[in-house]
Structure 1
Amino acid sequence: MITRRAALLGAVGAAAAPILASAAKAESAPDMTAAVASDVAHLPRIKRELVAPPFVHEHEQVAPGGPRVVEFTMDIVEQEMQIADDAWVQAMTFDGSVPGPMMVVHEGDYLELTLRNPPTNMLEHNIDFHAATGALGGGALTKVMPGEQTILRFKATRPGVFVYHCAPGGSMIPWHVVSGMSGAVMILPRDGLKDHDGIPVRYDRLAYIGENDFYVPKDETGAYRRYPDAVSGYADMMDVMNGLIPTHVVFNGAVGSLTGDRALKANVGEKVLIIHAQANRDSRPHLIGGHGDLVWEAGKFNNAPARDFETWFIRGGSAGAALYEFLQPGVYTYVNHNLIEAVNLGATAHFVVEGTWNNDLMEQVQAPTAYGAF
């Protein structure tokens, strides 16, 4: 008898079957028969409602007390998304957004996630937390078919910002990731962030930016193809992916997703913590007209932040953090400073900052006039 699992995997295509079978064997759940159950019954619990990027759910910057179990529920959503004026993808998403929502806890807390794969989906999914220890970051314990759900709990032992992503095995891993299935976790020190001298610092706003590279196939006329579901485009998309040249590099799921009416907001004098995550490729964030006052380039808060960066580096498969106090009003452009990817492929966002201009920091001494007039 053909099982539902076999039927769904078979729909992806015979070409991927050997890879999937090998991956399933290598990435099976570990033997836990001798493990002692974790005792968290005495800990308080708190439920957090996830919100879509670039925003982040309510949280405290300094832990209000001892460790807690912080509960989240997240649905996997397979849906078509428009990523540019002329391009659509059959996206695989955590909670319907690209990137998936950020989850925030404190060091020593337990993050407990209920991961649900609705019966309307076609594919198997899971979640690999780079912040977690063991079992492929939880990926070996969270594989859910359509119509299934699971609960994973892990202890937040390392403060910092970390990527999470789907990793069901073999060629499915890059396909799911570049189809939108990644997000970020922030584990704050219990006493909050500190600067290079160990002095506590706070942020007034948090901007969560997820960078994604897409690989959209074209037809014989050069137009981007559009597919009725994720499975239908698998073979064509793999051909483009294996060329390693993305057709789009975007912030938060689409070209222009953080510009115009959707631009990020701030005021002069406010400190903004920018979290930048990239699950697949290296990136080079740069804030045009501003700087990284404090930069945790590798995203780990046990390390003292660097200061005064113009451009910082996000390794593929990681997240970084930068704190900046805006000192002038106006529109600041935030880019991946591979300017080809920023301008031509879409990796651009805007911060619109309100306040009073400071001529001591910058002044137009003479407006443009006729050549040779002065």
Structure 2
Amino acid sequence: PDPAAVSVAANPASVPAAIGARAPQTLKYRMETVELPGKLDDGTSFTYWTFNRQVPGPMLRARVGDTVELTLFNARDSKMIHSIDLHAVTGGHGGGQHTQVAPGQEKTVTFKALNPGLYVYHCATPLVPQHIAAGMYGMILVEPEGGLSKVDREYYVMQGEMYTGRPHGAPVHQEANLEKMANELPDYYVFNGEVGALSKTHKLQAKVGETVRIYFGVGGPNKISSFHIIGEIFDKVYSEGSISSPKHDVQTTLVAPGGATIVELKVQHPGSYLLVDHALSRAGKGAVGVLEVTGEPVPGVYHAGAVQ
């Protein structure tokens, strides 16, 4: 493995503050595309292509009606051209048409946030799936007029898959395998970019009685996720990132590659709850996270043994 490898896993608690009820404004964001060696697993590294040195890239937040000015700078030591396509954008290939940025250059696009919802963004430079599989994806939340309901904790989680030249767990610096990518045969499934990102590097945390909201997306580039939390039920699910009409009492929700969902749950019993893709063989390839809940259990909800 590369001795210079660092963790690129985005902290799931790094969620921008809620916007709520305010008039539309002009927001300015600046992002940098960086290629760097990162920790893929214990003893394994990989050359990631990133937005702002993290996977997923930073979560962006706006409200419907806002005008967003987004500048993309490509680091001078990059080897590749990079770009950004935001699914929240109408026109210009989501911004990808006008943000093809060579190393050391920058470009800016301006767009109006027309539709509320949770949207994926990703690099749109050929080979697009190669750029995505290397870590170039993230999400932008466009709040509805008046904002979202208040919750106690918000988290930002994305799933991706990675295609490597050596098998899963090989103690080497892994290189991307484009043949496996074309045949959709991943060696790794990861939450927030690396194995253990949400179980070792970071954990989601909550206290009994709190309501947790998770912004969950799939960078892909190819595989659907069956998102599930072992030992919990989603009280609300905003399917496909649409905020208009939530579903209630959902066990597992499908999220397409390039798609997103918002889930909410009120935690009522302490313990370690596992975030998984319920295509469960993928847990062995890295797709496991932890929601650590502390506090006193709600009487009667759960206990080991017979009725007392």
Mean Cα deviation higher: 135-144 or 238-247: 238-247
Taking the TM superposition and a 5 Å limit, the aligned residue runs for 1:286-325 are 286-302=228-244, 304-325=245-266
1:226 and 2:173 aligned: yes
Give how far 1:271 is off.
1.2
Matches of 1:322 and 1:166, distance apart in 2: 26
SS in 1 for 2:225: coil
Deviates more, 1:252-261 or 1:139-148: 252-261
What SS does structure 2 have at the residue aligned with 1:262?
coil
Confirm whether residue 360 of structure 1 aligns to residue 308 of structure 2: no
The 2-side partners of 1:115 and 1:331 are apart by: 39
Relative to 1, partners in 2 of residues 1:56 and 1:154: Cα closer, same or farther, differing over 3 Å? farther
Q: Which residue of 2 aligns with 1:175?
A: 130
Provide the aligned length of Structure 1 versus Structure 2.
296
Instruction: Tell me what 1:208 maps to.
Output: 156
Distance 1:112 1:56, change over 3 A: farther
For residues 112 and 244 of structure 1, the distance between their equivalents in structure 2, rounded to whole angstroms, comes to: 35
Q: Structure 1 residue aligned with 2:44, among 84, 87, 96?
A: 87
The answer to whether the 8 Å contact 1:251/1:257 transfers is: yes
Q: Take 1:135 and 1:114, find their aligned partners in 2: how far apart are those partners?
A: 15
Residue 191 of structure 1 deviates from its aligned partner by 1.1
Partner Cα separation in structure 2 for residue 224 and residue 256 of structure 1? 16
List gaps (5 residues or longer) in structure 1: 1-50, 194-200, 228-232, 368-374
CA apart distance, 1:223: 4.1
Kindly indicate whether residue 199 of structure 2 is the aligned counterpart of residue 259 of structure 1: yes
Match of 1:62 in 2: 20
Task: Supply the distance in 2 between the matched residues of 1:57 and 1:286 (Cα, whole angstroms).
Answer: 21
1:53 — aligned with what?
11
- For 1:271, the equivalent position in structure 2 comes to 211
Aligned to 1:338: 279
Moved runs in structure 1, 4+ residues, more than 6 A? none
Question: What is the alpha-carbon distance in structure 1 between the residues aligned to residue 54 and residue 230 of structure 2?
Answer: 26
Q: Partners in 2 of 1:328 and 1:129 — Cα distance?
A: 38
Distance 2:105 2:206 in 1: 41
Letter in 2 for 1:191: G
User: In the aligned structure 2, how far is the partner of 1:223 from the partner of 1:310?
Assistant: 34
- The separation in 1 between residues aligned to 2:75 and 2:128, in whole angstroms, is 20
TM-score (norm 1): 0.75
Contact 2:16 2:60 in 1 (8 A): no
Listed as ranges, the gaps of 5+ residues in structure 2 are 1-8
Superposed CA offset, 1:115-153 (max 9, x none): 110111111000000010011101001110001011111
CA RMSD of aligned residues (A): 1.9
Q: 1:68, CA displacement in angstroms?
A: 0.6
- Could you state the TM-score of these two structures normalised by the residue count of structure 2? 0.91
Report the residue type matching 2:60 in the other structure.
Answer: M
Instruction: Give the C-alpha shift of residue 158 in structure 1.
Output: 0.9
Question: Alpha-carbon deviations, 1:215-265, whole Å to 9, x = none?
Answer: 01028xx946536xxxxx56xx11221221100001011111111462111
Aligned partner of residue 153 in structure 1, secondary structure: strand
